[in-house]
Every structure is written in structure tokens, then in C-alpha cells.
Structure 1
Amino acid sequence: MYKSLLLMIIFHLTTFLASAQVIKGTITDKNGEALIGASVVVEGTTNGAIVGLDGTYIIKGTNNSSLNLKASFVGFKTQIKSVTVSGETVVDFVLKEDHQELAEVEVRASRELDTDASARATEQHSPMVLNVVSASTIELSPDLNVADVMQRVSGVSLEQNNSGVGSFAIVRGMPKRYSYTLVNGVKIPSPDNKNRYVPLDMFPSELLDRVEVTKALTPSMEGDAVGGAMNLIMKNAKDRFSFKINASGGMNTLFLKDGGQPFLTYDQSLTNKIAPHDRAVEGYSATFNDFTTDNLVPKETYNPIDFNLGASVSNRFLDGKLGVVLAGSLQKLHRGSDTHVYDVGYNQITNLVDLETYEYRQYSSAMTRGGVHNKIDYVFNNKHSISLYNALIYEREDQVRETVRYRLWDGEYDPESQSGTATFVTRIRTTEQKIQNSTLQGKHQILPAWKLDWSAVYSLATRNRPDQTIFTRNAAFVNGVPNQVRVEDFGSQYRIWEDNSDRDYSAYINNTVDLDRFGELKVGGMYRNKERTNNYIRYNFKPLNNETKTGEDWKYNEVDWSLSNPKGGRTNPLNYDAHENILAYYVEYKYEPSQRTEIVGGVRVEHTDQGYTLRHPPYEMDPEGGQEYVDYLPSLHFRYKLNENSNLRASYFRSVIRPGFFEIVPYSIGEEVTDTGIDEKGNPDLKRTIADNIDLRYEVFPGVRDNLFIGLFYKNIQDPIESGVKRDERGRTYLQPDNFGSAVNYGLEIDATKYFRNFGIKANYTYTQSSITTTKILYVRDDPNDPSSNNKPVDVDQTRPLQGQSAHIGNVSLLYKNQKMGLDIQLANVFTGKRIDQVVRYYEKDFWQEARWQMDFSMEKHFDFGLTFFVKARNLLDTPLVLYVDQELNERQSKYPKQGNPGDPLKVRDERYGRNFQLGIKYKL
């Protein structure tokens, strides 16, 4: 009996131990990229597993100590390994692509740039602080353009325009001017009429292999970034034939017929692209017959359809020596906002702002974006290669802005009955932007220890805004119905033609000398010749109609007009030519005193010659201006390899930020045509900004797709440039760029990615603090004890954060992948803390933007034959953008639209953009 019991115990124990045997491991390609969805089975059985999001598999319950494991994946050769199992056994597979092997040729191997594994490897081995987003990550995200992709990067937030479209990146709390954009490693000009920074929403995300954000500059990089340098790496030719195509359609809930606002459109094809003055001989006097009117009549529609089309094809020929890639994208999107805006005045007695006007605006923007790029590269042998890259990026925005403006002073507006004096303002404008780039590059091994690479670049960025029209009417509202609508007759009717271009000729050369055990020396330089032209023509009109309409509004083509200035006001300072010549050269030295330590340092010198010439200067205005200077920009980068999977980094670099051409021209623009709703002026005395930057970062790479970054940064900024609100001698306020003393910016960044079988999480958080002290105005009594004494303005210091800097920025993306079902799901969340949107001249009265949380969603369903159905949804919470002044609402103010309860902050803007949805298919061969 005891023998039987003992045998039974041994049998069950042996069975338990056998069932406790586990086989686990990874399946990757030659680049180390996890082959998610690959299968591995015990040969001759059905026992197996699928590779999860973390790149691993687990097989339990194997009874044999010796067996064969078979790993397979579509497009790769099956691999079989004989395994002896004992307890927990690790078996890793590296699968080879299943295609015809080529005859031996002299071609240097190239690393795929569009994978997550490649992105992590670049971050790990880079000499500087870097973040990389791969095309694999971009493809699964809800994002349709590069700007939306950028906000997923740690420390990056977006500045949105009045249609809710994020265009410009704010890196580490530094305003958009403190970063620059590269395409394939070379800087591109901006089509923006005012600034240097490139509108990132112009670039369709599907044209990219990856995005690299460098946060610490080396001497070989251009030195005009404090926040970071954003490098857009466009698609390269694959080693074998590749073809992708996608199509999707969608809608914005803001313009739904049930519960939404109408989408306003106009016939843009009838717009004259060239002003009457430029269509005729010099000195031509225009008449009203030179102007169209039917293009200025908005029409209402609902449920406009968005669409997105994209395709790419690439291959290598001539035994792999010749690579060709061609990719294109076309988007038509309908965006807008439901906006409530307040203009505020300043009470010199109480030092409080008060609400002077209330505006209800409806924005409707039809946005057409397109891009095409082509790259041809040829590898002569393992020492010499050459490539030619060409790209054209295009965007057109047809926008209608309808405004109803109520006067709030002297009880002229009753919010409860919606009665009072009002003004109707229709603004119609088309904005066309283009970026063209051609880059010829070569790489050469001159001697065994000497490598040389060079680039010759032509770039042209243009922006054209033809026939921007302001149409103003006066009205009296009674119980919400307009009564006695009359066309305005006091200088608020005009049409503007403006265009600008930035042309760059650039040349780069870099020499790298291998000094063997003494390190690596890099010497090079760059020269850029930039020329800018800006044209601005404004025609003023006067209505001949005196009658009024009751209960309805006027249309532009119903009015009889006379032209007040037939010459078009060509003497405006915005008609100018400008130049900027930059000569830069550098020395960079890389040394590894041990296998674990890497040091990169050197200095960059940049000579800047910047200036402008007014073509038709107004009376007593200097027709020319400019500045010339030299900057020495040292940098030092230290990397210590704690082990194979972790680094400790420390970096220092100095950088320079140059003013934009537009900012130093002595221009003046009225509030009716600005996006800020306030007059704007240029500043010829604006100086460049110098910044010293320090970075520390700890990095861990526990898996091919996982990472953990913990970093600290500090920036000391001299003469920072911000736009501040000022007041002229007549008491009128205006917005002007200026240098505001000195500032500091410091913070903490945490970035983590972790995959757990079918689930994954990407998260980052950035804490930023900045400090700048500027002079503000505060009114005080001549005699503080005498309330009847004169009130006078005094200058007081105010310490505040930099404009656009949020203390808290965060991203959390939750991912799920089920290979058996062919399902990918992502829920992406972006948090942007409160920040200063506009700097106001008066003490503690800056405009703050409320903290915002945006939630986006994407889902893909894959089929084995290469077809994928997908859903993308943005702004699921329909999060509004709210600007406020840190001042308590009083009882009277709380009654106005979109204001809160007494004691709440005083709102100056409230915008809602709606939710955006896309449904589509894509095919990959």
C-alpha cells in the first residue's frame, strides 16, 4: 500500500514538474525589431504561442525534454531550432526576410529607419539628448500631420490656430521661435509671413520614416535652437519592392446639421490672385470694375466631408545600387470653431480690466493639403554614394470668419434679452502656402581614415493671401433679431493682397577623420544666402448705400462701392526686401577614454548679416535697417554607459535665436486683419537672444521597444523675445515683439514605454518652470492718502513664466494588439497645463490659457492579404480652449455669455472645435 502511494506521489510530482517546464524568448528581424504576431510551435504538436507587443512569447506545459521549435512569420523564412528543455528555457529567434538573395555586390548595408527598434537604437547610441518617433508608431496613431505627431513627444506641446489646428511646437516650454525644423538634416525656410518657424501641420505624417527631436545641439548642428531641433526624415527606398496606398473619409461634428453650426464657404475660384495694381502698368489707378464681388458671398452648408489619400512606392534596381522612392498625399479637411471673445479695457482707478466689447465668432476653414516627394540614391561602391531629394508641400486654407460684436459700455447690451448695439464683420481670406526643396547630397570615403559628406540645397517657401476682405455693417438687436442693419461708412471696408517668399541657397560640408585610439575629429561649415520679399497692398472702399435693412443682413454684392485709394497704398512698410547671410564653421571632437565613456565637444562660430530695405518708405522713415554680428557657440556632451542597456548623459551648449524679418520691419497692421484681435507693430531695435543650456538624462532600454528616460534641463536666456502689449501716445494699445531682460527655464522630463504581451503603455511627463522679470504699468495716486489726487502710471517689475510655457505637460497612450484577430487599438491622451497666451503691459493682467486635456482614438483591423480597415478619432472630449485674466468676475460681468459665477476668473476667450472622425482603408504590398 505504501509502495503504491509512493509511486502515485512520484508520478504526480513528475507530471507537475514536467508541466512546470516553460519555454520563452523573442522573435526579431535582423534589425532587432520585434516581429509582433509571429508564431512559434513545438513541432508535431499544436502547443505554441504568438509574439506579443513586448516582443516575447511563452510556451507552457511541454512534456518532452528534447524537442524542435518552429518559428514563422509572413514574409520571413521559417526557422527550426532543436531545444533541450529544463525548467525555464530561453530560445530566441532572428528571422531572415524571405526573398531572392542577390548576387554579391559592393553595397553598404543600411538600417531601416521606420521601425521602433531603430528609433530606440538611435536614442541609445546618439551622442546627444534625442527623442525619436518611428513611422511604425506614427502609422498606428490618430495623427494625420507632423504637428499632431510632435505633441506625443516628451516636453512638446502645440500652439493652436483659431480653427483648432495645432501648427507650431513648443518644446520644453520654450515658445515656437526657439526651435527649428529640418528635412533630411537640412534646414528649410518658413512660408509664414511673420516668423521663421515652419507650420508643421503642412506635412502629412504618412510621408515620414521618422521624426527626430534633438534637445541638445552638437557643434555640427545649426546653433539657433533653445527648445530643440525637429528633423523630419522622409521615406527612403526599401531594399525590395514596396507599395502602400490608403484612403479615408470623415467629418467634423462642429458642422453637423442637427445641433451644429453651418459651415460657411465661398467660390474661391472667382478670386483674383493678383491685385489690380500688379495686373496693370506701373502707377495704374484702379476702379471698382477691377474687383470681383461674387466670390465674397458666403454660403451655408452642413456635414462637409473630409478625405485623405496617400500612396508610396519604392524599390532598388541595378543589383541594389539604385534606390527610388516616390510618395504623395492629399487631404481635404473642414475645421473651425465656435468662439466667444471679449475685448478688455483698463481702469486706471482700480487697476482692474473691464469688458468693453463681446464678440461671437464662427470660423469655417476648408483646408486642402498635399505633398509629394521623391528621392533617388545611387551607391557607386562601398566608398561613394550620392542622392537627390525633391519635395513639394502645399496647403490652402479658405476661411470665413463671421463676427457679431456688441458694445458693452453704458448699458448698450442686455445679455438676457440679447438686445443692444452691434457690428457685423465678415472676414473672407484664402491662404496658400508652399515649401519646395531640392537637396543634392554625397558621401565619400576619401582615405581609410577620412570621410567627407556634403549637401547643396535649394529651398523656396511662399505664402500668398489674395483678396482678403473685411466687410462691416452696423446693427441694432432687439430680442436677438437684427434691426436696422446698415453698411458701415467709417473706414472699415477694405480688401488686401499680400504675399511673401523666402528663398534659400545653402551649402554644407563635413569632414570626419578617424584618429584611431585618439578619437574622431570632425571639421565642417555651412553657408546660407536667404532672400525675402514681402508685398502688401490695401484698397479702401466706401459704400454708396445709405438705406437700412430690417431683420436681415447685407450681402457684399448688394452694395454699391466707391474706391477711396486707387493706388492701393503701396507705401506701407510691409512692402520690403530682406536678406540674411549666415556663414558658419565648426570643430567637433569625439573621444572615448574607455569602453564605457564617450565625450563629444567643440565650438561653432556663426556670422550673421541681416537687413531689410523698404521699397516705398513713408515720409521721414529710414528705408533701410539691419544688424551684423558674430556668435561663438561651444558645446560639450558626455555619455557614460552604465551597462549594455543604460546610459547616463550630461550636455552643455550655447545657442542663438535671431529675430524674424517681419519683426524688425517698422510695420503697422490694424486689429481687423490680425489673428490676435489687436493692432500689431514691428520693432527695428529688436536684438538676438543668447541662451546657455544644460541637460542631464538617465536612460534605460530594457527591451528592443521599451525605454525609460529621466532627465533634467536648465536654460539661462539673455534678451528673450516675446510679444508684449504696449500703448502709444494716444492711448491706443498694440502688440509688439521686444527683448525682455533675462529669463531662466528649467524642468524635469520622464519618458517611458512598456509592453506586456498584448498590451502596451507609452507615457511621458514634463515639469517646467521658467522665470522672466519685465516692467509693467500700475496706476497710483500722487498722494496715496488723497483719493482726489491725480492718477499716474508707474513702472513696476513683474516676475512671470515665459509666454507659452506650461508647468505640466503629459501624454499617456494605451495600446492593445490581438494578432489572431488582426486588431490594433490605441487611446491617446495629451494634457497641457495652464500657460500665458498673451503678455499684457499692465501689472498681473496677462491672458492665461486654461489647462486642457485632449483625448484621441485609433483602431485598425488587419487582414492577411495586406488590407487594413482603420478608424481615427480626434478631440473625443471636444475640449474647449479658454483664455482668462487672473481677476475675479463681478456680478455684472458674470451675466455675459460664457462667463462663470461671481468670483470666477474673468474669461476673454472661449473656443470649441468639435470632434473629428476618419474611416478608411489601406493596402500594403
Structure 2
Amino acid sequence: MTNCAHYRKLIAVVSFLFTATAVFAGTIKGHVYDGLTKEQLIGANVVIKHELKKVVTSLDGGFTFKGLENGTYELKISYVGYAEVDTTIVIAGAEVREFNIYLFPQGVTLSEVTKSAAKDGSTDQYAQKREQFANNIVNIVSSKTIAISPDITVANVMQRISGMSIERSSTGDGQHAIIRGMDKRYNTTLVNGIKIPSPDNRNRYVPLDIFPADLLDRIEVIKSLTPDLEGDATGGVMNLVMRSAPSHFIAEGNVGTGYSQLFLNRDFHSFKKAGVNSKSPIELSGPGVYAPVGAFPYNNLVTDASKPPINKNVNLTLGNRFLHNKLGVIIAGSYQNTYRGSNSQILQQSATVPPAPNDHIAQQPAVSDDFYREYNSRVDRSGVEAKVDYAFNKNNSISLFATHLQLNERRVRITSDTLLGGYTLPNDFIGPYAIHTKTETRSDLQSINNITLQGSNALLEGLTTDWSLTAALAKREVPDIAEFSVGQKVTPNAGTGTYTLGTLQTEDESREWIHNTDKDLAGYLNFHYKANISGKTELISFGGMYRHKERDNFDNSYILTPVNDKDSVYQKFISIPDSKFQFIPANGALGNASQNPGIYHAYENVYAAYGMLKYQLTSRFELIGGLRVENTHQNYMSSLNDALPGKSADINFMDFLPSVQGKYAFSKIKDIRFSYFRSIFRPAFADLIPFPDKSGSNDTYLVEGNPYIKHTVIDNFDVRYELFPKGLDQFMIGAFYKLINNPIEYAFAPYSTTSGNYGATPILSPQNFGTANNFGVELVFRKYFGNFGVSGNYTFTNSVINATKLYVYLTPDNTTKFTNVPDRRPLQGQSAHIGNFSLLYKSAKNKTDAQLALVYTGERINTLSQYKGFDNWEKPTTNLDFSAQHQFGKHYILYVKANNLLNTPFRLVIKQHNNAYHTKTQLPFQESTDYMTVQYDRYYASYSIGFRFKF
């Protein structure tokens, strides 16, 4: 009993103390904002004077002091570059005192508070505000987000954006973007709002890996078009906004290094670029001159195997304003040197497929070769941008922007090519007829140069104008693609399941020179008039543009035949320097330039005019509508033989492109948008001209144009609900629908338009596929919990094309029957499911950021086949990346980045029952009886470390 009495007393004392503490423990909490922009300030210092208590505002600008005794507290709130604020708070009882603090930049007076302030477009806060108040549906990524992400190129950043996936190059790096399931050809790339030409020798779309990410202020992905935007962007517009002059002096930079795990497991193969002839013999000597064999030196075919040096990444930005802030100047440069590669296995598909045994069984794919390839690339990526702007006054300004981008890849591809036979080995693999070892070296040099003069002027009361004059040049040079091959015949040993390799023989050597230029001259003129309609001030805009595009393309190749040994019908291989060649026939020394359709000149003129009205129906409901008219004139002349179709063409078409955008605001943080617009896709010149080449991203099959394709017209519908609760938190959900007339997709064709003959290797050719429907749902979210956060997006896309495919089977009387059967499939490149999810950590107090980012891309069609069920599908991929950084003092940041931590492979499959899996006709690297694997690539992880500085 005594112990129970003691326990009761103890409990009573504890309860009293707890109650007393609760009564006299108060809380002070609040948020700190920029007084001009109303954006939260992250990392502001909030100090209770005389108490030695200090906190740092979190990601939403918030702060909290708990457990405060009753009394009066003096607070000091400060942030770098802002005037300090002192305030006094009284705590009485267990109350929570909550309030907001607004800080103003130093030197700003209260009378200036109502004036617009210069905004830093590189911040997450600015990006979110721009999304919220934009005229159209847009997603924006700030340079601050890019800096702390695992990515160093724009292409890799794109995969983090809602509705976007990327296509990768042979090294595993992102190269092109697919937006909302619309293939890369349907998207447009702008720099500072101006369309730029592409260095790609076949396509309009710009290779996004040419852009170093650290040159950018932000990335804007515009998904609905207003009439003032060019109409050839169905998937979306990728506007890459470069750095602008700051409001004060800055000096920023980055130095980093890294390594690829791939080259911890094998050697890196390289060649000396000094041995590469920049021009083909016909360019040096003129047409009609036979090139001597000595004009094709072997130096660039001799490769060295070693461990590559470490990667390098440096950049520097300097900027300031002068003449009482009227003149702004910024210059930025970036250089990245990386060593990348992959290990690739490919089954080359045959152009013709054996018929099915009857009309109830699917045809089986036919393959001719098994390739094992090692890619080795040294990639040098550099960029310089400079901008000068001058503000005459608040209504008149002018700017001059220039940029140079360069992407040089020097690649060695080593291929073991097994020509498959019809017998089996003890491991049940199909035996070879021959084995070839091929070494290909190429230098791929791409550049984009752009200079733009822009101005903004007030003309009359309520009437303003903005204009742009731009000149741009994109170039690609692929000098001397050299391939040297040796081979061994294979003789099966009867009844043993083994084979014997023959003598190593020197085989044909190929050399090819490709270069092209794409020049743009363009002018834009826009007028904006603030009119009074029904007592409201509305904005009327109208204007136009003109662009002249001119393109020159050159392609010349040679085939050199080995000289037979004196006592043999072949040349025994000794070494590359000892190999001897000749031209058979002799006129092969002229190259194929005389009738090569890859040599052409083309131009395109686009005239456009538009009118647009921005009308505020109510204080909550805003409409933007108008019409854009675009006239296109295309003309080309190629070197194709006169007897073949597609030598030249003159094409004209006009499009009327209406657009309506609407926004209804439920509150300051909640709204809904809707839009309709019509857009087009113009075929690239190489889509029209039937020249075959293998210089693009798909270097397994020849790609050839089609002179009969038509341009694509698309009707687009969008709706999106948006919520911006507080800070950087956001939630968006939307839906879209696209009706596509004459979609253009690349498919396997059984024969070449140029020759009209069937070949052993199928040709990839652009084709129109009737009418397609594409619809989907997008979800975007971001939420912070103190220093931790989650962000992500998910896109479901469903597209349908109703087309026909070829199905071949044997009739009961053993006759081959060719039929066209219906085929219902999604768009090429469209994944039904795309998802991003990131775990975030951001501590303003500890000055540490970290991000674990996962990207999921669902299966999608990579290449179309003319045969039923033979389309090549990419298997789903899950990529995991990590990045972290820590700031030391005020000026220095140490960072680490790691990519492809899961070593996610790239796989292409044919969704047919696989008769070549665990059978007597088994093929290599097969995974299942449910599908045939035709390509399996591994890239492995890559790592980088470095530091940034900012003054």
C-alpha cells in the first residue's frame, strides 16, 4: 500500500509539471517571402535575440520555434542581399503565434514595392510561378533543379519532365525526346524562343545531347500552342532559355571529373584523328578523276586498346550590368569530355520472311547475322553563349544574343559478325557459315551557330511591338567513315556438332564522306494593343514571320576490293598496313557521287501570319483565341538518276491553324485550363529524297526517303487542373487527345526505292499510316515535409493506328499466298506508361541537397515491320540515378552524381512465339519462348564528382 501511495504522488507531480509546461510553452511560426515577387525565401535566418536561438527557413520559406516560455521576444530576420527586419512577438499561455515576414532587396524603397521587379529565371520559385501564370499548358525546369539533378546534358534532363521519355544513343546517353507518345520528329526545339536548325543529316529535330545543361537558365516544355507560336510542334515545344545578364556582378563555374564503369571491365578502343581526311578524293581532285588507292590511308583504321582517361567537365559564367543598370552583359562557356560506350548484341533481320505453313500459324522471323559489338566513343561537348542587352528606358530595349554549340564524337565500333547457317552445335546454337570481324571508325562533328537581334518598343499609347532577326547555321561532318573487315569461312565437321575455321582473309573495305549544312534566315514581328472592350482592358496581338531555310547535303562512298595473293583466290590477312586493295570495277575509283541522291540542294520558305485576342470574361475566367496561317514552299534537286522517282520536287501547301486557350481560376492557388489547337508536321528533306545511308542513330539498317509521303495535320485537345498550395508544392492532373491525319513513321520496306530491287537487308523508310488517335492522362506532384520531399509524374498514353500488314502463308496446294491483314497498334515510340519518382532532401541549415531519382519507361515500338507481328518493341526500362551536393561557406559546392545504378539494359524484341529458344534452332542471347530478343545492349553505370563556385 505504501508503494502505491508513492506512485500516486509521483504521477500527480509529473502530471502537474507537464500541465504547467504546456500552459507556459508557446510557439512562434511563420513564413518569409520576397516582398516584391511574393516568392518564398529558402534559407533565410530567423534569430531570437538574447536567446541564442536560430532557425533557417525550410523549402516553403517556413520557420518554427517551439517550447517558448511566456514573455516578449525580439526576432531578427535576414537573408543575403535583403534588408533585415526586426519584430517583436509576445507569447501569453500555450498559444501559437503565426505570421508572415516580407523582406525587400537592399536599396529598394517602399515606393518601389508596387513596381515590377527583375526576376531570377533560374530559380524553382520562378519556374513554378511561370507555370502558374502562363498563357498555355507548360512544364518548366529551372537551372537550380538541373544543377542538383544527376544530369549534365539537356537530353538527360528531359526524361524527368512530365509526359517525356528519351531515345538513347549507342553510348546510352539521352539524345532525342519523345513528348506525350509523339515521336521526336513531331517536336520543335527553340533557343530563347527562336527555332534553330538541326545538324542531323536526315531530320529536322535537334539532337538534345549537343546542349551542355549548365548553359541554361531553364527549360520550358510548351504543350499547347497559341497562335503566336509556330504550328509545327504537335508533341510539344522545347524552349531552351539561355542565361541572361544578372542584376549584379556574378562569377560562376564548375570543375568536375568522372568515369564509366564499362571500362573497368574492358579496354577502350581509340584511333588517331590526325589520320582522317576531311574531304573525299572527289572533292579534292574534282569529278571524273579516278582516285588512287593511296588516297585512302589506313592510319585511322589502326586502333589502340587502353584504359581511357577520366572524364572532364568545366564551365565558367561571367555577368554584370553597367551604365546605371542600362547595359547588361553575360558570357558563359562549357566544355565536357566524356568516354562512353556499350556492349551490344544484335540479330540482323532478313528482308524476306519464309511463309507460314498455313493460314492458322504466324510467320516466324528470319535472321541472317548475329552481331556482337563494342562501341567506344570519345565525346567532346562544348558551348559558348553571350548576350548583351540595353534598356533605353522602361518601354524600349534591345538585345543581341549569340551561341555556338559543338558536339564531336570519335567512335570505334568493333563487330564480330556471325553469318548464321542451318545446322546446330552441341549447345543448340545455330552454327555459322562465316565469321567476320569488322572495325569501323568515324568522326561525327556537329555544330549549331546562332545570332539573334531582338527588340521591344512602345509605339503609341497602348501599342507595343517586339521583333527578332535571326541567322543560324547547323553543320554536320562525318569525314571518312572507314570500315575494315576480315573473315573466316566455317566448315562444319559432319556428325560431330563442331566446325573448323578457315584461313583469315582480308575482305572489302568501305570509305564514306558525309557532310551537310542547314541555314536559317528568319524574321519575327509581333504587335500588341491594349484595347478597351466592354469596359475591360484586353490584349489584341497580331504579327507574322518569314523563314528561309537552305540545305546542302553531300554523300560519297567507295568500296575497295582486296588484291588476291599470287597463289590464291583471296588475300590472306596479315595486318591492316600490309593489306592491299584495288577497285573492281575500275570506275569504282570515282565513288558513287555522280548519281548519288544523297547529294542534293534544297530550300524551304515558310510565311506565317496570325491574329490573337486575350480576353478576360470575368475576374476568374480568361480566354485566348485566334488563327494562324502558314504557307510552305519546299524545293529540292538531287543527283539521283533521271529514270528513278524522287530526283526533284516542288511542293506547296497552306495550313489554317486555329487555337483556343482558356483558364478558370477557382482561387489564387487553384485553376483549370483547357485548350484546342491545330498543328502540322512538315517532312524533312531526307524524308522525301530516296537516298539510302547508315549514318544516323540506327546504324544496323539503311534508311531511305520516300518521295510520296504527305505532311501531317493534327487536332489537339487539352485540359489540366492545377493546384499550388504553398512553397514549392504543386499538384497537376490533365488529359489530352490528338487526332492525327497522315502520321509519318519509319517502317521496314522490302526493297529500295532507289534501285527498285529487293535486297538482303531491309530498308527503313518513312510512310504515311492513315489516321491515328492519341490520348492520355498526366499527373504531376511535388510535396515537401520540412527538409524532405517527394516529387514525380506519371503519364498514361494510349494511341491507335489502324493499318495493314503483310501476311504470307502456304495454301494446301503449296502455293505462296500474299495477303494484307488489319493491324491495330500504338504510335511508334509511344509508351503506355511513363513515370518519374524522386526522393528529395534539402537542408538550408546544413546546406546539403540530395536526390534519388527513378525513371520508368514502358514498352514501345522502336521499328515497324511490313510483316504482321514483326514490329520491334523496346522492353520496359527502369533507370535509377543519384546526386548530392554540399555547400561550404558562401561560395563553394561539392557535388557527386551517379547514373544508371541498376545497369539497365536496352532490349528489342519481336512479340512472336520464339521457336529459337531451347530448341535445335536456338539463337544466342534469347530470354523467353514468348518473344524473340533481337537486340541486347549494356551501358553500365557512370560516376562523376566536382565542385561549383559562385561569387
TM range (shorter): over 0.9
User: 1:437 maps to which residue?
Assistant: 450
Distance 2:620 2:921 in 1: 63
Alignment of 1:248-263 (within 5 A): 248-256=256-264, 260-263=265-268
Summarize the alignment of residues 206-605 of structure 1 with structure 2, pairs less than 5 Å apart. Answer: 206-256=214-264, 260-345=265-350, 346-350=353-357, 351-411=363-423, 420=432, 421-476=434-489, 484-488=503-507, 492-516=508-532, 517=536, 519-546=538-565, 555-564=575-584, 565-570=588-593, 571-605=595-629
Which amino acid counterpart does residue 803 of structure 2 have in structure 1?
T
User: What are the superposed Cα offsets for residues 353-395 of structure 1, whole Å, 9 maximum, x if unpaired?
Assistant: 1343211111111100000000000000111100000000000
**1:868 alignment partner in structure 2:** 893
C-alpha distance in 2, partners of 1:548/1:336? Answer: 39
Q: Per the alignment, do residues 487 and 102 of structure 1 end up closer, same or farther by CA in structure 2, a change over 3 Å counting?
A: farther
Letter in 1 for 2:504: V
Evaluate the alpha carbon distance shift between residue 918 and residue 674 of structure 1 in structure 2; reply closer, same or farther with a 3 A threshold.
closer
- Answer whether contact 1:249 1:918 (CA < 8 A) is retained: yes
**Which of 725, 745, 756 is the aligned partner of 2:748?**
725
1:148 is aligned, of 152, 156, 165, to 156
What code does the residue aligned with 1:709 have? Answer: M
Q: Distance in 1 between matches of 2:116 and 2:282?
A: 57
Counterpart-to-counterpart distance in 2, 1:548 and 1:816: 71
Which residue does the alignment assign to 2:806?
777
Q: Structure 1 stretch 633-642 or stretch 161-170: which is displaced more?
A: 161-170
Which letter does structure 1 place at the counterpart of 2:84? T
TM-score, normalised on structure 2?
0.91
For residue 615 of structure 1, report the CA deviation from its aligned partner. Answer: 4.1
Distance 1:317 1:193, change over 3 A: same
Q: How many residues align?
A: 908
> Which residue of structure 1 aligns with residue 61 of structure 2?
55
Aligned to 1:114: 122
Q: Output the CA distance in 1 between the equivalents of 2:933 and 2:920.
A: 10
Deviations 1:16-53 (A, max 9, x none): 12214342333547434433232212211023322122
Q: CA deviation at 1:686?
A: 1.1
Q: For the residues of structure 1 that align with 2:827 and 2:202, how far apart are their CA atoms? A: 20
Task: Give the whole-Å Cα distance in 2 for the aligned partners of 1:89 and 1:30.
Answer: 24
Q: What are the Cα deviations for residues 615-649 of structure 1, in whole angstroms up to 9, with x where unaligned?
A: 46455556421310100000101100010101101
Distance in 1 separating the partners of 2:554 and 2:743: 29
> What code does the residue aligned with 2:288 have?
G
CA distance in 1, matches of 2:740, 2:938: 35
**Pick from 731, 734, 740: which aligns with 2:763?**
734
Structure 1 match to 2:782: 753
Contact 1:131 1:212 in 2 (8 A): yes
Task: Kindly indicate whether the alpha-carbon contact (under 8 Å) linking 2:640 and 2:646 is maintained by their aligned counterparts in 1.
Answer: no
The answer as to whether partners of 2:143 and 2:218 remain within 8 angstroms in 1 is yes
CA distance in 2, matches of 1:207, 1:832: 27
| Larger displacement relative to structure 2 (110-119 or 221-230) | 110-119
8 Å CA contact 2:513–2:556 kept in 1: the answer is yes
1:11 to partner: Cα distance = 8.0
Aligned equivalent of 1:163: 171
**Secondary structure, in 3 states, of the residue corresponding to 1:192?**
coil
Preserved contact between residue 419 and residue 476 of structure 1 (Cα < 8 Å): no
Say if 1:524 and 1:587, in contact at 8 Å, map to a contact too.
yes
Tell me what 2:7 maps to: none
Q: What CA distance in whole angstroms lies between the structure 2 residues aligned with 1:549 and 1:508? A: 66
Q: Is the 8 A contact 1:880 1:912 kept in 2?
A: yes
> 1:292 and 1:102, CA in 2 relative to 1: closer, same or farther beyond 3 A?
farther
Contact kept, 8 Å, 1:605 with 1:632, in 2: the verdict is yes
SS at match of 2:790: strand
Amino acid at match of 2:597: P
Deviation at 1:180, TM superposition (A): 0.2
Change (3 A) 1:855 1:624: same
Aligned counterparts of 1:495 and 1:320: Cα–Cα separation in 2? 56
2:714 to 659, 681, 691: 691
Residue deviations 1:410-469 (CA, integer Å, cap 9, x gap): 127666799742112222111000000000000011123011000000000000000001
- CA distance in structure 1 between the aligned counterparts of 2:757 and 2:836, rounded to whole angstroms: 47
Between the aligned partners of 1:46 and 1:108, the Cα distance in structure 2 is 37
Shift of 1:679: 2.9
Q: Determine whether 1:41 maps to 2:70.
A: no
Q: Name the structure 1 match of 2:862.
A: 837
Shift of residue 74 of structure 1? 3.7
CA shift, 1:813, in A, is: 1.2
Q: Secondary structure of 1:91's match?
A: strand
Q: Greater shift after overlay, 93-102 or 338-347? A: 93-102
Farther-moved stretch of structure 1 (711-720 vs 107-116):
107-116
Counterpart for residue 907 of structure 1: 933
Deviation at 1:841, TM superposition (A): 0.6
How many angstroms apart in 1 are the aligned matches of 2:905 and 2:793? Answer: 23
Does 2:814 align with 1:814?
no
Are the structure 2 counterparts of residues 357 and 14 from structure 1 closer, same or farther at C-alpha, using a change threshold of 3 Å? same
CA distance in structure 2 between the aligned counterparts of 1:726 and 1:195, rounded to whole angstroms: 19
Structure 1 residue 347, shift from structure 2 partner: 2.4
Q: Which amino acid aligns with 1:342?
A: L
**Matches of 2:19 and 2:295 in 1, distance apart?**
98
Distance in 1 between residues matched to 2:425 and 2:698, nearest whole Å: 25
* SS of equivalent residue, structure 2 residue 393: coil
Partner of 2:635: 611
One-letter code of the match for 1:898? F
1:410 aligned counterpart, secondary structure = strand
Residues 603 and 634, structure 2, Cα contact 8 Å, conserved in 1: yes
Structure 1 counterpart of 2:165, one-letter code: S
Aligned partners of 2:431, 2:646: CA distance in 1, in Å?
A: 49
Distance (whole Å) between structure 1 residues aligned to residue 876 and residue 692 of structure 2: 33
Give the conservation status (yes or no) of the 8 Å contact 1:574–1:667.
yes
Alignment-mate amino acid for residue 463 of structure 1: R
- Give the superposition deviation at 1:704: 3.0
Pick closer, same or farther for the CA change 1:419–1:410 going to 2, 3 Å.
closer
Structure 1 residue runs of 5 or longer lacking an equivalent are none
C-alpha distance in 2 between matches for 1:621 and 1:676: 25
> Aligned residue for 2:946?
920
**Structure 1 residues 753-772: Cα deviation after superposition (integer angstroms, max 9, x where no partner):** 11111101111000000000
CA contact (8 A) 2:170 2:697 kept: no
- Cα separation, partners in 2 of 1:731 and 1:417, compared to 1, 3 Å: closer
Do the aligned partners of residues 11 and 302 (structure 1) sit closer, same or farther apart at CA in structure 2, a change above 3 Å counting? closer
Matches within 5 A, 1:5-44: 13-28=19-34, 30-44=36-50
State the identity as a percent: 36
1:768 to 784, 797, 803: 797
Mark the CA change 1:634 to 1:46 in structure 2 (over 3 Å): closer, same or farther.
Answer: same
Output one character per residue of 1:326-345: Cα deviation in whole Å (capped at 9) or x when no partner: 00100111111100100234
Shift of the alpha carbon at 1:678? 2.1
Listed one character per residue, the Cα deviations across residues 659-705 of structure 1 (whole Å, up to 9, x for unaligned) are: 01111012133x69882422332111110000000001000011231
Are the aligned partners of 1:22 and 1:61 in contact in 2 as well (CA < 8 Å)?
no
* Contact 2:422 2:431 (C-alpha < 8 Å) held by counterparts: no
Unpaired stretches in structure 2, ≥5 consecutive residues: 1-10, 358-362, 492-497
